[in-house]
């Protein structure tokens, strides 16, 4: 059995009510539910939440919420990995069914598409692949980033060997938080995804599809991008 799990706690501090805030005419979480359902590869699309309001919205949008998350797994310091592990364990005991593959989809990535999920599926089903994690190219070279010294000093901010044109810098990628797809075994210990004995592969997504909602400005950016179709030359096949 393949399942998608969308973690959506109710206590966002920087953007209260974030997961069900309206974005381009839909609750934020619905964009992820729709992408998961439209991919057509999951036996169930679940939402893990501690909030009755989010649960009601998720069900209305087509997801399943078999139970609410316990309060201790919905605090500011609670880890998504712990909430996922708890969800899988409770669901299997409640339904008497075994999960084979788990796809964790953060609700804060509304521009991630069904096609992105299907790409991750193809990568995961390749021989010898244990897990697939979505990434995107870094928007700015990390070599040009640093800490400011006292009084805003820039001494040593950029090493001389890195002080070259951005187009001449090596390409680096970052986790974009949109997709984590793996076996049940790895889903129960997400912290092992990047271990040397785990064959994890990158699902490269465009920066356009990698917008993450954490602030009001992020919502405005996402809504602006949704007004336009992503140019073909920005789509990563």
Of 206, 217, 212, nearest in space to 105 by CA? 212
Rounded-to-integer distance, Cα 142 and Cα 146, Å: 8
Which helix (H) or strand (E) element contains residue 173? Answer: strand 173-183
What SS3 state is found at 150? helix
Rounded-to-integer distance, Cα 203 and Cα 216, Å: 27
Quote the pTM value: 0.90
Structural domains of the chain ordered from first start:
2-234 (3.90.550.10)
Rounded-to-integer distance, Cα 50 and Cα 91, Å: 15
Helix-strand-coil percent breakdown of the chain, rounded to 5?
40, 20, 45
CB contact set of 234 (below 8 Å; sequence gap of 6+): 206, 207, 208
Cα end-to-end distance, the chain, whole Å: 27
Rounded-to-integer distance, Cα 152 and Cα 169, Å: 25
Q: Classify 24 in phi/psi space as left (phi over 0), alpha (psi -120 to 50) or beta.
A: left
Rounded-to-integer distance, Cα 176 and Cα 134, Å: 6
Each residue's pLDDT, cut to its tens digit, for the chain (237 residues) gives 999 999 999 977 778 889 999 999 999 999 999 999 999 999 999 999 999 999 999 999 999 999 999 999 988 889 999 999 999 999 999 999 999 999 999 999 999 999 999 999 999 998 889 999 999 999 877 777 888 999 999 888 877 776 666 666 788 899 999 999 999 999 999 999 999 999 999 999 999 999 999 999 999 999 999 887 655 544 555
CB contact set of 180 (below 8 Å; sequence gap of 6+): 103, 104, 131, 132, 133, 134, 190, 193
DSSP-assigned beta bridge partners for residue 45: 4
């Amino acid at each position: 059995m393949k399942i998608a799990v969308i973690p959506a706690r109710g206590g966002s501090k920087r953007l209260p009510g974030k997961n069900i805030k309206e974005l381009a005419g839909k609750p934020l979480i619905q964009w992820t539910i729709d992408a998961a359902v439209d991919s057509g590869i999951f036996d169930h699309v679940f939402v893990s939440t501690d909030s009755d309001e989010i649960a009601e919205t998720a069900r209305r949008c087509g997801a399943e919420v078999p139970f609410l998350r316990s309060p201790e797994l919905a605090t500011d310091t609670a880890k998504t990995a712990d909430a996922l592990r708890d969800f899988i364990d409770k669901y299997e005991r409640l339904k008497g069914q075994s999960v084979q593959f788990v796809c964790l989809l953060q609700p804060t990535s509304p521009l991630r598409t069904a096609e992105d999920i299907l790409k991750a599926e193809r990568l995961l089903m390749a021989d010898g692949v244990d897990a697939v994690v979505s990434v995107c190219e870094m928007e700015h070279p990390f070599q040009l980033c640093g800490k400011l010294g006292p009084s805003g000093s820039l001494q040593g901010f950029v090493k001389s060997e890195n002080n070259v044109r951005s187009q001449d810098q090596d390409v680096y990628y970052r986790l974009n938080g949109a997709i984590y797809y793996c076996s049940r075994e790895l889903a129960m210990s997400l912290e092992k995804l990047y271990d040397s004995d785990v064959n994890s592969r990158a699902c490269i997504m465009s920066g356009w599809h990698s917008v993450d909602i954490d602030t009001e400005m992020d919502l405005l950016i996402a809504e602006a991008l949704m007004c336009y179709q992503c140019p073909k030359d920005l789509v990563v096949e």
